[in-house]
Amino acid sequence: MEEPMNKAVRTVMRNKSLFFCAVLAFLGGCDPDGSGESLFRLELPPLPQSWMELLGSPRWLVRYYGHDGGEIFLDVEGEGAELSLSPSRVSSVIAWPYWPLRHLEPGDFRPAGAILPYGALFGGDSPGRIPLSWQGGVEAWFFEALSRAALTRANGTADSGNPRRPEYFDWPAFRFLFSDPAVSAEFRADPWLADWDAIAEKTVRSGFRKRWLGVVETLDLSIPALPGPWISPSPFVPPAADTLKVRGGSTAQAWYSAAGILHCAGTSWILLPWE
């Protein structure tokens, strides 16, 4: 990364790197073709209280990747599931909460996730655990944006040796940036306000710069005489009473309350009651 980390952070990063190497060795890492698989317990994160109060418990659509790189989808109800994964393959896991009885589909709300093997924990018992987190959802989303950008830059060919592919990105160091006071306060409050596709394209083109971790333009939209509180599809945003902070431009967004679904685009909005 462009800006040097302080000595304490570098020490932590070295320790983390040693830990990850030990994990891979314990699981029989050093599996160059990624064909060996182990059983993992996927643990879904607790929902924000405001989501639970309005919508109740969700189902989850989980997407992960097999040892051949193919997408695998699971529909999960409850607290988790078991996955068979290659412990030496750097990849992403994403889980979208959704509420079919409310006609809310996967993708309406922001996902949780993890990047493997960095998001895996191992206790004294087997199998290992993969606790998904909301910050991990942002990281996994960026991982996939980097993969798409690298593929586009390589004109659709499998350029696996590209040093700017997500497999070679410094993900443990990246996690520190979510609490770095040098990074935009708005980004730290809600990292989903960043344009991750644009950041990925610039990273693949010229390397990563933490100064890119800003947010797109936002507008304060006042909604008169509509009952709140309103909940955002981002788990990082607290409920709002009657003033919503929405993205600028024509980007469509939705907010949710007991009154229905508020669809916003720029300064325009429409409230649709629950079906």
DSSP string, 210-249: GGG-----EEEEE-TT----BB-SSTTSPPBSSEEEEEST
- Tokens 């009885």 locate to 101
Q: Which of 94, 93, 84, 92 is nearest to 35 (CA)?
A: 84
Residue 66 and residue 188 in one domain: yes
pLDDT tens, per residue, the chain with 275 residues: 444 333 333 333 333 443 444 344 334 433 434 456 788 889 999 999 999 999 999 999 999 988 777 899 999 998 778 888 877 788 999 999 999 999 999 999 999 999 988 888 755 555 588 999 999 999 999 999 999 998 877 665 555 556 678 988 999 999 999 999 999 999 999 999 899 999 999 999 888 999 999 888 777 777 765 777 889 999 999 998 767 777 665 567 899 998 899 888 777 888 899 87
Q: Which of 32, 38, 159, 22 is nearest to 87 (CA)?
A: 38
pLDDT number for residue 120: 80
Residue 223 and residue 208 in one domain: no
Q: Which of 233, 235, 224, 223 is nearest to 255 (CA)?
A: 233
Q: Tell me which residue range forms the domain holding 178.
A: 7-212
Number of domains in the chain: 2
**What is the pTM (predicted TM-score) of this model?**
0.82
Q: What is the DSSP string of 27-83?
A: TT---TT----EEEEEEPPPPPHHHHHHH-SPEEEEEEE-TTS-EEEEEEESSEEEE
Residue 151 and residue 246 in one domain: no
- Examine the fold and report which residue of 212, 236, 256 is the final residue of a domain before the chain moves on: 212
Residue 126 and residue 111 in one domain: yes
Q: 225-256 in b/e burial notation, b at 16+ Cβ within 10 A? A: eeebbbbbbbbbbebbeeebebbeeeeebbbb
Residue 140 and residue 52 in one domain: yes
- Examine the fold and report which residue of 163, 180, 212 is the final residue of a domain before the chain moves on: 212
The total of other beta-carbon atoms located within 10 Å of residue 220's CB is: 9
Residue 70 and residue 100 in one domain: yes
Residue 35 and residue 11 in one domain: yes
- Examine the fold and report which residue of 169, 190, 212 is the final residue of a domain before the chain moves on: 212
Instruction: Tell whether 80 is covered by a domain.
Output: yes
pLDDT number for residue 17: 44
Residue 196 and residue 261 in one domain: no
Residue 45 and residue 100 in one domain: yes
Instruction: Tell whether 53 is covered by a domain.
Output: yes
Instruction: Tell whether 107 is covered by a domain.
Output: yes
Q: How many CA atoms lie within 13 A of 215 on its CB side?
A: 19
Residue 177 and residue 241 in one domain: no
Tally the residues of the chain. 275
Instruction: Tell whether 227 is covered by a domain.
Output: yes
Instruction: Tell whether 2 is covered by a domain.
Output: no
pLDDT number for residue 127: 59
Residue 233 and residue 253 in one domain: yes
pLDDT number for residue 223: 72
pLDDT number for residue 164: 75
pLDDT number for residue 117: 87
Instruction: Tell whether 67 is covered by a domain.
Output: yes
Give the amino acid at 172.
P
Residue 226 and residue 207 in one domain: no
Instruction: Tell whether 1 is covered by a domain.
Output: no
DSSP type of residue 260: E
Instruction: Tell whether 116 is covered by a domain.
Output: yes
pLDDT number for residue 100: 95
- Tokens 């060996």 locate to 36
Torsion-angle region of residue 69: left (phi > 0), alpha (psi -120 to 50) or beta?
Answer: left
